[in-house]
Amino acid sequence: MAKSIQIMTPFDASKISVSQNPRFPSAYIVDLPLDSVPDQEWREAFDMKWKSSRDLWDRKLLLIDDKVRLVTTPDEFLEKLDWVEKTIRETNIAIEDQYRIIGKEKEMIREATAKQALQADIQGSEIILETLRKRFST
Protein backbone atom coordinates (compact mmCIF):
# COMPACT_ATOMS: atom_id res chain seq x y z
CA MET A 1 0.00 0.00 0.00
CA ALA A 2 1.23 3.47 -0.84
CA LYS A 3 2.26 5.50 2.19
CA SER A 4 0.54 8.79 2.98
CA ILE A 5 2.80 11.75 2.26
CA GLN A 6 2.87 15.11 4.03
CA ILE A 7 4.90 18.28 3.85
CA MET A 8 7.58 17.72 6.47
CA THR A 9 6.89 19.65 9.65
CA PRO A 10 8.53 21.25 11.37
CA PHE A 11 11.38 22.31 9.12
CA ASP A 12 14.00 25.03 9.12
CA ALA A 13 12.71 27.61 6.62
CA SER A 14 16.24 28.96 6.12
CA LYS A 15 17.19 25.61 4.56
CA ILE A 16 14.42 25.69 1.94
CA SER A 17 15.63 26.27 -1.59
CA VAL A 18 14.07 29.45 -3.01
CA SER A 19 15.46 30.75 -6.29
CA GLN A 20 14.34 33.14 -8.97
CA ASN A 21 12.85 31.47 -12.02
CA PRO A 22 15.14 32.18 -15.00
CA ARG A 23 12.21 32.13 -17.45
CA PHE A 24 9.86 34.32 -15.45
CA PRO A 25 11.73 37.02 -13.47
CA SER A 26 8.76 37.74 -11.18
CA ALA A 27 8.41 34.07 -10.22
CA TYR A 28 10.34 31.94 -7.77
CA ILE A 29 11.04 28.22 -7.51
CA VAL A 30 10.38 26.85 -4.01
CA ASP A 31 11.30 23.30 -2.97
CA LEU A 32 9.00 22.16 -0.14
CA PRO A 33 10.28 19.14 1.82
CA LEU A 34 8.12 16.02 2.08
CA ASP A 35 8.25 13.60 5.00
CA SER A 36 9.35 10.78 2.65
CA VAL A 37 9.93 9.92 -0.99
CA PRO A 38 6.56 9.10 -2.63
CA ASP A 39 6.26 5.80 -4.48
CA GLN A 40 5.22 5.68 -8.13
CA GLU A 41 1.56 5.05 -7.35
CA TRP A 42 1.37 8.11 -5.08
CA ARG A 43 3.21 10.23 -7.66
CA GLU A 44 0.73 9.29 -10.38
CA ALA A 45 -2.26 10.06 -8.13
CA PHE A 46 -0.68 13.40 -7.14
CA ASP A 47 -0.06 14.34 -10.78
CA MET A 48 -3.68 13.52 -11.65
CA LYS A 49 -4.95 15.63 -8.75
CA TRP A 50 -2.94 18.76 -9.42
CA LYS A 51 -3.32 18.56 -13.19
CA SER A 52 -7.11 18.37 -12.84
CA SER A 53 -7.13 21.68 -10.95
CA ARG A 54 -9.27 24.47 -12.33
CA ASP A 55 -6.28 26.77 -12.10
CA LEU A 56 -3.86 24.51 -13.95
CA TRP A 57 -2.66 27.30 -16.22
CA ASP A 58 -1.37 29.12 -13.14
CA ARG A 59 -0.14 26.09 -11.18
CA LYS A 60 3.23 24.59 -11.73
CA LEU A 61 4.31 21.65 -9.55
CA LEU A 62 6.92 18.95 -9.81
CA LEU A 63 7.82 16.07 -7.50
CA ILE A 64 11.58 15.67 -7.11
CA ASP A 65 12.59 12.88 -4.73
CA ASP A 66 11.30 14.00 -1.31
CA LYS A 67 10.37 17.54 -2.42
CA VAL A 68 7.52 19.33 -4.12
CA ARG A 69 8.81 22.06 -6.40
CA LEU A 70 6.41 24.97 -6.71
CA VAL A 71 6.73 27.93 -9.07
CA THR A 72 5.05 31.03 -7.69
CA THR A 73 5.24 34.74 -7.12
CA PRO A 74 5.65 36.13 -3.61
CA ASP A 75 2.12 37.58 -3.74
CA GLU A 76 0.56 34.21 -4.61
CA PHE A 77 2.74 32.01 -2.40
CA LEU A 78 0.35 31.61 0.54
CA GLU A 79 -2.59 30.74 -1.72
CA LYS A 80 -0.48 28.25 -3.66
CA LEU A 81 0.94 26.73 -0.47
CA ASP A 82 -2.65 26.12 0.71
CA TRP A 83 -3.42 24.57 -2.69
CA VAL A 84 -0.36 22.28 -2.51
CA GLU A 85 -1.34 21.08 0.99
CA LYS A 86 -4.92 20.50 -0.19
CA THR A 87 -3.68 18.56 -3.23
CA ILE A 88 -1.49 16.38 -1.01
CA ARG A 89 -4.44 15.66 1.34
CA GLU A 90 -6.69 14.81 -1.62
CA THR A 91 -4.01 12.52 -3.04
CA ASN A 92 -3.72 10.66 0.27
CA ILE A 93 -7.50 10.25 0.43
CA ALA A 94 -7.62 8.98 -3.18
CA ILE A 95 -4.91 6.40 -2.41
CA GLU A 96 -6.71 5.26 0.76
CA ASP A 97 -10.01 4.97 -1.15
CA GLN A 98 -8.31 2.97 -3.88
CA TYR A 99 -6.89 0.51 -1.35
CA ARG A 100 -10.24 0.26 0.43
CA ILE A 101 -11.88 -0.67 -2.90
CA ILE A 102 -9.13 -3.17 -3.70
CA GLY A 103 -9.55 -4.70 -0.22
CA LYS A 104 -13.29 -5.08 -0.75
CA GLU A 105 -12.74 -6.68 -4.16
CA LYS A 106 -10.24 -9.13 -2.68
CA GLU A 107 -12.67 -10.00 0.13
CA MET A 108 -15.46 -10.62 -2.41
CA ILE A 109 -13.14 -12.90 -4.40
CA ARG A 110 -12.17 -14.79 -1.22
CA GLU A 111 -15.83 -15.22 -0.28
CA ALA A 112 -16.76 -16.41 -3.77
CA THR A 113 -13.85 -18.87 -3.80
CA ALA A 114 -14.82 -20.22 -0.36
CA LYS A 115 -18.44 -20.56 -1.49
CA GLN A 116 -17.38 -22.46 -4.63
CA ALA A 117 -15.18 -24.77 -2.55
CA LEU A 118 -18.05 -25.43 -0.13
CA GLN A 119 -20.44 -26.16 -3.01
CA ALA A 120 -17.90 -28.53 -4.53
CA ASP A 121 -17.56 -30.31 -1.16
CA ILE A 122 -21.35 -30.58 -0.83
CA GLN A 123 -21.69 -31.89 -4.39
CA GLY A 124 -18.92 -34.39 -3.80
CA SER A 125 -20.54 -35.55 -0.56
CA GLU A 126 -23.91 -35.89 -2.29
CA ILE A 127 -22.40 -38.03 -5.08
CA ILE A 128 -20.81 -40.36 -2.54
CA LEU A 129 -23.97 -40.60 -0.43
CA GLU A 130 -26.09 -41.26 -3.50
CA THR A 131 -23.71 -44.02 -4.58
CA LEU A 132 -23.92 -45.56 -1.08
CA ARG A 133 -27.74 -45.36 -1.12
CA LYS A 134 -27.95 -47.08 -4.46
CA ARG A 135 -25.64 -49.86 -3.49
CA PHE A 136 -26.57 -50.52 0.16
CA SER A 137 -30.13 -49.28 0.67
CA THR A 138 -32.99 -51.70 0.75
Per-residue pLDDT band for 2 (boundaries 50, 70, 90) equals: low
Quick: pLDDT tens for 43-63. 999 998 888 877 655 667 889
pLDDT value at position 135? 86
pLDDT value at position 1? 60
pLDDT value at position 43? 92
* Domain residue limits, the chain: 13-111
Mean pLDDT of 14-35: 92
Averaged pLDDT score across all residues of the chain:
86
- 116-135 burial, b at 16+ Cβ within 10 Å, e below that, comes to eeeeeeeeeeeeeeeeeeee
Quick: pLDDT tens for 59-98. 678 899 999 999 999 999 999 999 999 999 999 999 988 8
* Percentage of the residues of the chain whose pLDDT score is greater than 70: 92
Mapped onto helix, strand or coil, the DSSP state of residue 59 is coil
Which positions ≥6 away from 35 have C-beta within 8 Å? Answer: 5, 6, 7, 8, 66
pTM of the predicted protein model:
0.67
pLDDT value at position 90? 93
- Asked if 33 and 67 count as a contact pair (C-beta separation under 8 A), the reply is yes
- Asked if 70 and 50 count as a contact pair (C-beta separation under 8 A), the reply is no
**Does the pLDDT of residue 103 top 80, yes or no?**
no
CATH dotted code for 13-111? 3.30.1360
